[in-house]
Structure 1
């Protein structure tokens, strides 16, 4: 990550109260300089305040750490925060979009669809749209997704909605999916019952759309816009979904590969706009649509 010799760097992590988000905030605070600022965000004021104080007190923390309340389902709040960081600091250097809605295996996927889509997809679109323009040269804008975000995990009937799509077209596809869930027509159209598959594909497609538009100037300035797959992580959100945790990483271990992308001296052009797992891009067209009974063993 490039840095001005005088301007403090500004980093923002959403969904940072616990789990991977908190580990990312801790890692940023440890690797940045004392003049730099890490904004640890979440929607619960008490939890945000406590988490920020705890991260600030971790041995090895170097940067300043501040807690900020941010409900990522409030797109106006996202836009206001981006405007504030532009006005106060001239922009932002690191944005990690990590917030996710927790859904348990015994809950109705259809009944939780609105919350899940709002947190994972509508918020991703808003972060890309609001923070992309205020990302400073040499910055990093990363959206945490998963290996399920490759196009091949969707029914082939749905591929045209996301392959080569603009951000506006991705948004339209997501709202079409939401509408199909409400109308109980999702299955016949090819949408899987499990919300995580179309949600992650849509997240990656949105990143690809924005990255394609700004690719030339980003590569010229050493800026990276991408989605990331941290691998299997042992968190409260993911634990109920997996029957075998023998290969799971701790949040701190999972954060390491993401942080290495943030602090890399140069941007590999092959990574720009891609879904990255452990430093390597995952092929966009790979994957197989999962059958519902297999969902508990997929990383």
Structure 2
């Protein structure tokens, strides 16, 4: 059966590199959907794709819009009967000069509620042997959260519970109370922890089914990349390009499933521990 893949946030950077990598490794019978919020940028990205490999199709998808992921999932189900690879990569970037209180609502809407919308929409479409992968970060572990806050994200059993905890953090940032508490000032940390918690929560519900059907559900850390956004925070002159960073992610999507990776955060094929070691 021809394969169907989808990448969110794919008009630039890592998302664009993921589309290109998937298209080059799949066959002409397969389809890779390149999605983004702006139709002009989507079309430009599709037209700039190298030839060969899978067909690349553009679709508008704003993960911050309630119902948008569900509508696209329904369209892909009607066209293809299911999906084989989904990369949730859409992200709102934040700079050092941004006021967290001013941006946190939009930030959480894209990065966190957008993630859970994609998981809810596309998990039911997964065919045998498929992959559902959330692009996150090594910052998305409990190591980077104060011990007093770790229970908020640990052991959650549903995406609704994850959304509830993310909303509580968002509200604390927005009203300024997070500054007086134990929350880290860098909003990327709780956001990434929320993304990994979402993968873990969904995995807790689906593990038996997915294991029996060869399905991988995981979060992945691409590592530091040489991008203009990262350059606002760190010296990334020696860091890999998005195209280089995409290679192990594409491998994760196409290589045989390692059962140990299920529900975990993966970087370069290795599991990053969710919680600090005890003792």
TM bucket (normalised to shorter chain) is over 0.9
CA distance in 2, matches of 1:236, 1:246: 10
Q: Distance in 2 between matches of 1:65 and 1:49?
A: 10
Q: Distance in 2 between matches of 1:83 and 1:29?
A: 22
Unaligned runs of 5+ in 2: none
Whether the 8 Å contact between 2:10 and 2:19 is mirrored in structure 1 is yes
Q: Work out whether 1:216 is the aligned partner of 2:208.
A: yes
Aligned to 2:227: 235
Q: In the alignment, what sits opposite 1:66?
A: 57
SS at match of 1:204: helix
Please list the CA deviations of residues 136-194 of structure 1 after superposition, one character each: whole Å capped at 9, or x if unmatched. Answer: 11100000000100111011111111111122211110010111112211123321221
- Over residues 97-144 of structure 1, what are the superposed CA-to-partner deviations in whole Å (9 max), with x where a residue is unaligned? 001112111121221111111110000010111111111111000000
| Other structure's SS at 1:237 match | helix
Within the candidate set 172, 190, 193, 1:198 is matched to 190
Aligned twin of 1:286: 276
Could you tell me which residue of structure 2 aligns to residue 151 of structure 1? 142
Structure 1 CA distance, aligned partners of 2:184 and 2:47? 41
CA distance in 2, matches of 1:236, 1:211: 33
Q: Which residue matches 1:169?
A: 161
Alpha-carbon distance, 1:246 to partner: 4.4
8 Å CA contact 1:16, 1:40 repeated in 2: yes
Query: Unmatched 5+ residue regions in structure 1?
Result: 1-6, 288-299
SS in 1 for 2:6: strand
| Local SS of the residue matching 1:110 | helix
Cα distance in structure 1, aligned partners of 2:99 and 2:207: 40
Query: Which residue is equivalent to 2:258?
Result: 268
TM-score, normalised relative to structure 1: 0.90
Question: What SS does structure 2 have at the residue aligned with 1:241?
Answer: coil
Equivalent pair of 1:158/1:190 in contact (CA under 8 Å)? yes
1:87 aligns with 2:78: yes
Distance (whole Å) between structure 2 residues aligned to residue 123 and residue 39 of structure 1 = 17
Shift in Å, 1:8: 1.4
In structure 1, C-alpha distance between the alignment counterparts of 2:132 and 2:105, rounded to whole Å: 25
Structure 2 counterpart of 1:33: 27
CA distance in 2: counterparts of 1:169 and 1:188, whole angstroms = 24
Moved more, 139-148 or 232-241: 232-241
Q: Which runs of 4+ in 1 moved over 4 A?
A: none
CA contact (8 A) 2:100 2:173 kept: no
In 2: Cα distance, 1:97 partner to 1:14 partner: 5
2:217 maps to 225
| Aligned counterparts of 1:226 and 1:184: Cα–Cα separation in 2 | 33
Deviations 1:27-46 (A, max 9, x none): 01101110111100000111
Aligned residue for 2:236? 245
> How far apart are residue 75 of structure 1 and its match?
2.5
Q: Secondary structure at the match of 1:93?
A: strand
Does the 8 Å contact 1:20/1:235 carry over to 2?
no
Let me know the Cα RMSD of the aligned residues: 1.3
Aligned residues: 276
The residue that corresponds to 2:248 in the other structure is 257
1:61-108 residue CA offsets vs partner (Å, 9 max, x unmatched): 311011111111012010111111112211111100001112111121
